[in-house]
Amino acid sequence: MSQALNGGPLLTVTDLVKHYAAGGLFSRPGPPVRAVDGVSFEIARGETLGLVGESGCGKSTVGRTILRLQEPTSGSTVFDGVDVFALGRVELRRLRRRMQIVFQDPYGSLNPRMRIGDAVAEGIEIHRLATRSEIPKRVAGLLEEVGLDPGYARRYPHEFSGGQRQRIGIARALAVEPSFVVCDEPVSALDVSVQAQVLNLLVDLQRRRGLSYLFIAHDLAVVRQVAHRVAVMYLGRIVETGPIEALLNTPRHPYTVALLSAVPEPDPAGQKQRIVLPGDPPSPSAPPSGCPFHPRCFHPAKSDRCRTDLPLLRPVGSSQVACHYAETTPSTPAPLAR
Amino acid sequence: MSRVLEVENLRVTFPGPNGSRVAAVDGVSFVLHRGETLALVGESGCGKSLTSLSLLRLVPAPGRIEPESRIRLGNTSVLLLEGDALREIRGRRIGMIFQDPMTSLDPVFKVGDQIAEGILAHFSISKREARERSVALLKEVGIPDPAARADAYPHQLSGGMRQRVMIAIALAAEPEILIADEPTTALDVTVQAQILEVLDRLRAQRGMAVLLITHDLGIVAGRADRVAVMYAGEIVEEAPTTSLFARPSHPYTKGLFASIPRLSGPVSRLNPIPGTVPPASAWPSGCRFRPRCPYAFERCVEEPALLPVAPEHRGRCWLLDPASAGRERLKGTN
């Protein structure tokens, strides 16, 4: 019986690991790239979880692996009572009707030679969700729902702006009536005024259709517009997760504090003290021992323990934090790295 | 403050239908003072990057800078220069860094040699001195272990490091002006913060003028002294940064502010500008923002001038004309 009907989470991801083999063709195999290294989270029906982090932290790999666009190394994903990683090809295809994805680059994900009406109809045909004669009406309804003129169905992708293409990508995902959509940096490539239009659209669609989103982004201010909860990733792991407002008001992991302080706020009067983190994130093929953040950490209580013991997520306030000293993390940064 | 650059009535055109020319930059004027940062802000296609390329005469063909345009760098008329004299401007007096450092760096040369190449092109010094200077520059832009990093190839460096190398190359010839075209757009926020710090420090130390091209009003708030907002090839509002943020006056500027998601304050639904920027061939006559403007009225079919808002703060909107007082309330405010 479906768990979600009993009020449980729609999606449960447990200990997800995705390692890539490194080297190969011309070089000796090196240590694997630990893109995702033990990630767990849940998403309820109608809920949005924001997955935030900088490039290379593994956030997009999480999104792709739970849809099995990439095969996981280990761990489990249960969607509405179904073990996604145990499915065969036919069952997986059936499940994909309910789990969809919207990509960052809508141009790269649309076939340039296919009319957008046909692109939107493709999923409906594959999953036989409507009779041939009903399809044009369905497509028109979907285009209208994402704010496009239904008359556009006969046009090709190059005739549209970036924002319109992203709307087409959303219509295509919605065509198969999913209950869960992975949004992978859906507004990062868009201008700010268009970005706002698409964010509003995603929120409206969620309300109307009761959708659940995994919203992957690097921009916390964007995530705040759509997410109920948020998880911050660093080097393949979630370092902090909790309700969005709690996490923004009292960040407990030093990395979250640094990330928040680095976001430039559009207010010359309210310029905050920035923590400029030293160096770059380490390579995921050679993560530091202990806490992955310790080489760049500015926490005044930082100790030898951080170099040896990997901190696990544990409840602190209303969040879960992977830091040995989360209780005393300074939320107003000390001017350390100058 | 002394003026280092003066741009007057800059027009950049491209071939349009039936032998016509379409202006992608249309009558842009601004000045840049020594040691200041001027931000040129706008969305894709507004003409901000073409404006900056014009300063170096790098407008790609078939684009063309129209003869009535004037660009003065000190006493030099940039648009009259040819050959060596033009090369003397590029890099030497005006440096430039771009959004994507990987495509601007040559993948088969060590970064130290790429910096030295610029130094040798502009100064008559020995190769060894050039090498020493490039290591010093790498240090100045905050690259750890600069002597070793000078021997690295671009692919061995992270995105943030590569952008630092680009800055070092731009600085090698000690330019009076640095054009930074979306210098941090491809970088993560924590790295972006590092790069902006470096740019700010160098501007202060060297008294360089910086023309910062960006779409991000957050970056503008922290870094720029003055701002010019561009829409459809024109500057629609210009002001000291604090004045612009305190009192955005052009409806487009207001729309931009209402579209920005914020980290603090209450979360509310964003209030985006309806529609999209039309292509240059379809810019309307009169006020170009008129079809998307919630306040548009009869007079907007005439081309508005830049009208005063506050000291050094001007907006290209008829609502700023005292004769249109009361108009805004008539149409409703947002």
What residue spans of chain A are helical by DSSP H? Answer: 59-66, 89-96, 116-126, 135-145, 162-174, 192-209, 220-226, 244-249, 254-262, 304-308
Q: Residue A264 and residue B192: Cβ atoms within 8 Å? A: yes
Contact status, residue A76 vs residue A14, Cβ threshold 8 Å:
yes
- The candidate with the shortest Cα–Cα distance to A272, out of B217, B225, B218, is B218
Is the pLDDT at B53 greater than 50? The verdict is: yes
- The candidate with the shortest Cα–Cα distance to A195, out of A153, A156, A223, A158, is A223
Each residue of A271-325: pLDDT tens digit? 767 777 877 778 888 889 999 999 999 999 999 999 999 999 999 999 999 999 9
- For residues B101 and B185, the model is more confident at B185
Q: Residue B257 and residue A266: Cβ atoms within 8 Å? A: yes
Contact residues on chain A for B221, CB-CB shorter than 8 A:
264-268, 271
The answer, for A161 touching chain B at a CB cutoff of 8 Å, is yes
Is the pLDDT at B332 greater than 80? The verdict is: no
Contact status, residue A180 vs residue A212, Cβ threshold 8 Å:
yes
Nearest chain A residue to B245 by CA: give it. Answer: A267
Between the alpha carbon of residue B131 and those of residues A79, B116, B122, B182, the distances in Å are: 59, 6, 14, 29
Q: What is the pTM of this model?
A: 0.88
- In whole angstroms, give the CA distance from residue B27 to residue B233: 8
pLDDT at position A333? 55
Q: Provide the angle, in degrees to the nearest 10, between the axes of the packed helices A192-209 and A162-174.
A: 20
- In whole angstroms, give the CA distance from residue B273 to residue B263: 20
- In whole angstroms, give the CA distance from residue B4 to residue B249: 28
- In whole angstroms, give the CA distance from residue A68 to residue A71: 5
Each residue of A247-270: pLDDT tens digit? 999 999 999 999 998 888 888 776
β-pairing, B3-15 vs B21-33, is: antiparallel
Mean pLDDT of chain A, nearest integer:
90
Residues facing residue B37 across a β-bridge: B210
Each residue of A155-212: pLDDT tens digit? 999 888 888 999 999 999 999 999 999 999 999 888 888 899 999 999 999 999 999 9
Q: Residue B270 and residue A196: Cβ atoms within 8 Å? A: yes
**Which whole number is the average pLDDT over A35-48?**
96
Q: At A163, list the tokens.
A: 């924002």
Each residue of B103-127: pLDDT tens digit? 789 999 999 999 999 899 888 999 9
Cβ contacts below 8 Å, chain A against chain B, sum to 127
Q: Residue B193 and residue A274: Cβ atoms within 8 Å? A: yes
Residues 6 or more apart whose CB falls under 8 angstroms from that of B128 comprise none
Each residue of A99-130: pLDDT tens digit? 999 998 777 788 999 999 999 999 999 999 99
Question: What CA dihedral angle connects B257, B260, B266 and B268, to 10 degrees?
Answer: 100
Residues facing residue B28 across a β-bridge: B10
Taking the CA of residue A134 and the nearest CA in chain B, the distance in Å comes to 30
Residues 6 or more apart whose CB falls under 8 angstroms from that of B176 comprise B4, B34, B73, B74, B93, B94, B208, B209
Contact status, residue A279 vs residue B275, Cβ threshold 8 Å:
no
Of B161, B189, B263, the CB nearest to A248: B263
- In whole angstroms, give the CA distance from residue B222 to residue B189: 14
Q: At B29, list the tokens.
A: 């004027």
- The candidate with the shortest Cα–Cα distance to A11, out of A186, A153, A157, A213, is A213
